[in-house]
Structure 1
Amino acid sequence: MFSATILSVLGSVALVAGHFTITYPEMRGDSFATGASQYIYPCANVNQTAETNRTEWPLTGGSIALDLGHAWTYAFINVGLGTDYPVTNYSLTNDRPLNITGKGDLCMEKLDLPAGLTVTDGQNATIQVVTVGETGTALYNCADIIFKTSATVLSSDDCPSNSNITTATVEEVSTNETSSTNSTADATTTTTTSGAVGTTSSLATAGFVGVAAVVIGWLL
C-alpha cells in the first residue's frame, strides 16, 4: 500500500515536471487544476471568466516567459485577437517552431507581432503557447492580454533565462547541388542563443523533417 502510494506520487511529480507554465504574461488559470489538462486544445480546458486576468502588452509585441519541464522542446507561440475565446491564428514565431534545449526559465524580452497585424489601444487578445516534446505530444497553455500604448517590455533584470537554455529558430532553405543530374536538397538553418535569438548554426535535414511531421500532426 505504502509503496503503491509512493509510486503514484512520484509518477504525478514526473508528469508535472514534464509540463510547462507561462510565467509572463500571467496565465489564464491553473492548468494543473482538476478538470484542466495541458493536453486539451486550445487552452488546457482553462476557461475564461469575467475575472480573467489580462496583462498589459505593447502594441508592437512584448515579452514572453516560460518555465519548461522537458530537456528539449519545440514551441509555437500564437496570438488571437478578441475577448471571448479568440482563434489564435497569428504566429509570433514566424510560422516556425522554436527549438529549445534545456529545462527551466526561458524569457524572451520581445516577440514582435507579425507584419501586417495592426492592433489598437485597449484591444483584448489571447496568447497561446504550444509545446511539443520527444513523444510528439502537444501541450497547451494560454495567457490573456490587453494591448496598451503605455505598456513596455520586461527589463533584462525582470526577464532572466537559465544559462543552460538555448533557443533556435528553425528555418527552411534550399541549396542547389550540381551533379550529372540537377537536384535540390533541403536544409535547415537555425538561430541559436541562450534565451534569445542570435548566432547562426545548422540542423540536419532529417531534424527538420521531424519538425515538419510534428507541425503537420499539430495542424490536423
Structure 2
Amino acid sequence: MARDVVSLRIAYLGWNYHGVVEQPNLPTVGSALREAMESQGIRAKLKFTSRTDKGVSALDNIAFYRGPAPNISLLNSELPKDIAVWAVATGGIPKPKARAYCYAIPFRLGSAECVREALDELTQEGLGKNIENFDVKIGENFTYIEIYGKSFKKNEIRRIVGRALELHLGRSIGLAPPEGLVLTRTVADVRWEEFHRRKLHIIGKIIERELWRLESSRVILGLINSISSSLL
C-alpha cells in the first residue's frame, strides 16, 4: 500500500544556494532539507512544486515526498538559519493552481509602462502566455513588480524584468539578477495541518534585510503579513 504524501511548506533565502533541487557537490535548499530529515531517520526523495534557480528566494514553496512526517520543530533546529519549514500536511500530491512571484528593483522606475511593454514584446516570443495579472508598485527608491500565473517557463520572470529595465535604462541588461526574485505564494489544494508562523516571519525578515542591502523596500514585510493572515 502506497504511503501518504507529506507536504512541507518552506521558506528560504536563496542567495547562498544553487537552487532548490539537489545538484552533485553543490549546496542547495533540497540537500539541506534532506540532510535535516535524515537526522530524524527519514530517507526520502524530495520533489518541489516550484524549481527555483540559484539565488532565487521563496516565502511559499512546497516540498513533498512519500514517507513518515517529520517533527517540524526538530527539523527546523537542524536546518540552516536561512531555510525554514512553516507548515505541514499529509494526503495527496500537491498540485499548484497558481503562483505569485515578486521582483524588487532597488531604484525607481519612471512608470509601469515599461513593464507592460516588456510583457507585450515577450508575449510575441511565446513568453507571458500563462501570466494572469501583474502589479507594479513604485516608491521613492524602489520598484516592486508582482506577477501572478499558473506556471512560468525557466527564467521567464527575470527576462520580463530584464527587458523592462532595458526599456527604462536604454541599455542591454539580459536576465535580471536572481537575488531580487522571490516566490511569494503557491496556491494548491492542500489542507495544512500544522503551522509554524514564527518561522515564516524569521525567514521573511532575513529576505527583507538582504533586499534592504540592495536598497529595496519593505513591501516584502507586507507580503509576509498577508500570507500569515490568510494561511491558505
The TM-score with structure 2 as length reference comes to 0.26
- Looking at secondary structure, tell me which structure has more strand per residue: 1
Max Rg structure: 1
Higher relative CO (Cα under 8 Å, sequence separation at least 6) belongs to 2
The TM-score with structure 1 as length reference comes to 0.27
- Looking at secondary structure, tell me which structure has more helix per residue: 2
